[in-house]
Amino acid sequence: MSRLLELAREDGWAQLLPRMARAAAHRFRDSFTASKLRAPGFRARCNPHLSGLSHMRIGRNFSAGDSLWLEAVVEYAGERLSPVLTIGDEVSLSDNVHITCIDSITIGSGTLIGSRVIVTDNSHGVYRGDGQSASDTVPAQRKLHSPAAVVIGRNVWIGDGVAVLPGATIGDGAIIGANSVVTGAIPAGVIAVGSPARFVRRWNEASGVWEPIA
């Protein structure tokens, strides 16, 4: 109560009451979402967009910053899809993270994801093999295509601005440097940077240091 009065003196009731109303609305929304997902401790800040909740499996104490976009796409352009989006316990996302799944994305427990990150198992259109998308078709009308699943291990740290694309696998404890693009396999316990990401350091358990990779 004393903290409430202190805030009222600092900001005035006209500013404090809307803040209290927003906080209460966020708590209600998070509580409802946690119940729907069976994900105790679910928290998201302002303006989250979530769709396909019945195709998501989220663990305990998930947290996200502003403008989370979390979607398991169940229908697009008249095509029915069966996505499975699985997120472990204690996963933390910063602002403006977009995770979109039409087939399979798995994110392990303890993973930390920075701001402005996209994780996707799909693209608008087919560009290899049979049935490729024509260039004169409006991109938004091309069928969604998932060439391979995305798997992110436990205790991974993904920096700001990273793109994790279809077929990417990231091993346990790996670190992905800011603005990198992950398209293939990143082993466990390495630091990877660049576009496409390549590993430059590896954790040495015996020495307890991240050693450069020649």
Average predicted confidence (pLDDT) for the chain: 91
Decide if pLDDT at 205 tops 90.
yes
Q: What is the pTM of this model?
A: 0.88
Decide if pLDDT at 197 tops 60.
yes
Return the percentage of the chain with pLDDT > 70, whole number: 88
Query: Which CATH number is correct for 39-212, 2.40.50.100, 3.40.30.10, 3.30.450.40, 2.160.10.10?
Result: 2.160.10.10
Question: pLDDT for 16-62, tens place per residue?
Answer: 556 666 667 677 677 878 888 889 999 999 999 999 999 999 999 99
Provide the residue ranges of all domains of the chain, joining segments of one domain with +. 1-37, 39-212
Characterize the bridge pairing of strands 123-124 and 144-145: antiparallel
